[in-house]
Amino acid sequence: MTAIAERPAVAETPVPTEFAQVFEPSAEATKQLVIINWSGELDKIWPTLIMSSAAAASGYKTSVFITFWGLLPFVKNQRRIVGENWMQKMLTLMQRPGIDHLKLSKMNFLGMGPWMIGTLSKKYNVAKPAELLEACQALGVEFIPCQMTMEMFGLKREDMIDGLGEPAGAATVIELMTQPNTASLFI
Amino acid sequence: MPSTTILDARGLKCPMPIVKTAQQIKVVSRGDLLEVLATDPGSVADFAAWSRSTGNELVGQSVEDGVYHFVLRRK
């Protein structure tokens, strides 16, 4: 318990009151799951959100560090092109950001693959990434955006969905991953 | 006599039955029971694991017409 409470750099950062509940780590949590969410693809975001919602539902303190392509699903759905310069804008022109606009890492076929997966998931009543993300936030999963990649992609806080944690860097994640009773995944 | 709350998770797939259970158990009083109905066969292993992870005891389980019943006691 004490090991988890000791996270001064992040814990002391003021959090907007309306999200305070989202960030409140479970008082009973003694085990944690840390996921580095590097990929922005549908078939990788899905397991990230399933594992983190299941872990949080099971009482684990759960943190997801979102970095590189993994930042784009956490951009607001209605943002079409983000970034400050033409190269950053090109990136999101080629890869539309937002949790509802994900591509598959294989068999994408210009959107045919995601459409079929979406249809199958509906038919078999599997929760969509957007629903899982909502569940994660309700259960207190902390999503920590990577400060460095946000800058490189020209992403601002207002481009990102509400309820994310304070942007942080590699040392923060290393500290989380090396806590006792912690499982870490790179997805 | 502990009171029993029913949670209908029929039709939901992994991980939603335990997500809903985790949210519902918070509004159950300590010592009271939560009975979850589920149709996902994976939930048999998942509810046992969830019970061990969270310390909420799985006091009973049964299957009837393809519907699993898990009875949990809020710790």
Beta-carbon contacts of residue A178 (< 8 Å; ≥ 6 apart):
none
What domain count does chain B have?
1
CA distance A148 to A36: 14
Which CATH number covers residue B47?
A: 3.30.110.40
pLDDT in tens, B48-69: 999 999 999 999 999 999 999 9
- Which residues of A fall within a CB distance of 8 Å from B14? 50, 54
The whole domain housing B17 covers 4-73
Does residue B21 belong to the interface with chain A, where contact is any CB pair within 8 Å?
yes
Whether pLDDT at A10 is above 90 = no
Rounded to the nearest angstrom, the minimum Cα separation between B46 and chain A is: 10
Burial A145-173 (b: 16+ CB within 10 A, else e): bbeebbeebbbeeebbbebbbbbbeeebb
One-letter identity of residue A86: W
Identify the three-state secondary structure at position B58.
strand
Decide if pLDDT at A164 tops 80: yes
Q: What is the pTM of this model?
A: 0.84
For chains A and B, count residue pairs whose Cβ atoms are closer than 8 Å: 45
Mutate to test the interface with A, among B8, B14, B16, B21 (most CBs of A within 10 A): B16
Task: Scan for tokens 């999101």, then name that residue.
Answer: A92
Do B75 and B55 form a contact (C-beta atoms < 8 A)? yes
For residue range A93-135, list pLDDT tens digits in order.
888 899 999 999 888 888 899 999 999 999 888 999 999 999 9
Of B3, B11, B13, B14, the catalytic one is B14
All residues of chain B having their beta carbon less than 8 Å from the beta carbon of residue A137 are none
Complete DSSP assignment for A28-94: T---EEEEEE---SHHHHHHHHHHHHHHHHTT-EEEEEE-GGGGGGGB-TT--S--SSHHHHHHHHH
For the cut 50, the answer to whether the pLDDT of residue A2 exceeds it is no
Structure-token match 């594992």, residue found: A51
What is the value of ipTM here, to two decimals? Answer: 0.89
Across A44-48, A108-112, A136-140, A160-164, least confident range: A108-112
pLDDT of A29 reads 54
Among the partner residues B11, B15, B23, nearest to A54 by beta-carbon distance: B15
Give the H/E segment covering residue A134: helix A129-138
Domains of chain A from N-terminus onward: 2-7+28-186 (3.40.1260.10)
Residue in this structure with the two tokens 């029993």, named with its chain if needed:
B4
Average pLDDT estimate for A54-78: 96
